[in-house]
Structure 1
Amino acid sequence: MSQRLPRPSGEEQAGEGHGAVPDDVAVAVERVLSSTALLWNRADQGLEPAISPIQLRAVEVIARFGRLNLGGLAEELGAIPSSTSRLCDRLEAAGLIARETARADRREIVLRLTDQGERLHAQLVRRRRAAVRDVLAQMSPASRARLLDALTEFGQASERGERGGRGIAGSRTA
Structure 2
Amino acid sequence: MTAPPPGPATGPALLGTRLRLLLDTLERGVEGVYADLGLPDFRPRYAPVVRALAAAGDLPIRDVARATGVTHSAASQTVAQMARDGLVTLVPGDDARRRIVRLTPRAEALLPRLGAEWDATARAAAELDAELPYPLSRLVTDALAALERRPMRERIGEVQRDAGA
Q: Under a length normalisation based on structure 1, what TM-score does the superposition of the two structures give?
A: 0.47
- Relative CO higher for 1 or 2, CA cutoff 8 Å, sep ≥ 6? 1
